[in-house]
Amino acid sequence: MKTGKYIAIVAVLASGLSLNSFAKDKNETRVTLSDAVQVGTTDLKPGDYTLQWDGNGPDVQVKVLKGKNIVATVPAKLAQGTSGYANAITTRTVGNVKTLDEVDFAGGKQSLVFGEATATESPSGQQ
């Protein structure tokens, strides 16, 4: 009798843990910036960042995280991606300011387009 009760408790806990893993937000990607760039009005230093957004687009709000800290929140468009096997970052330099235009996700299914690049199509492969 007690064994059945313990098995039931373990089964409930295991199913709850697996549901948590399915509930995890998949709307995120990780990027590594090799140079300092500006996204919105925020200057990002070189390093590893996580981009998180809500919804399926096309207009989304992207949170830029450094570790667990939100360092910027910027509008973007979620678009069809053009990348191959790895995340690709497209930047634009105007004057002395390098801005983040686009992040294509590994697998080429989606991309996030930022700033002025959201108004017009950004040139492919420009870095």
H/E segment holding residue 100: strand 97-104
Q: How far apart are CA 64 and CA 117, in angstroms?
A: 18
pLDDT (tens digit per residue) in 19-60: 333 444 478 989 999 999 999 999 999 999 999 998 887 999
On whether residue 19 sits in a domain, the answer given is no
Per-residue pLDDT reduced to its tens digit, 72-104 = 999 999 987 665 667 789 999 988 999 999 998
Q: Is residue 83 part of a domain?
A: yes
Tell me how many domains the chain contains.
Answer: 1
Phi, psi of 24 (to 5 degrees): -55, 135
> Is residue 7 a part of any domain in this protein?
no
Position 127 in a domain = no
Domain membership flag for residue 80: yes
Residue of 36, 13, 117 whose CA lies nearest to 74: 117
Is residue 74, in this structure, part of any structural domain at all? yes
Whole-prediction pTM value? 0.68
- Asked, for residue 71, whether it belongs to a domain, the answer is yes
Domain holding 103, by residue range, is 26-118
Let me know if residue 14 belongs to a domain: no
Q: Give the gyration radius of the chain's Cα atoms.
A: 19
In this structure, what are the phi and psi dihedrals at residue 17, rounded to the nearest 5 degrees? -65, -40
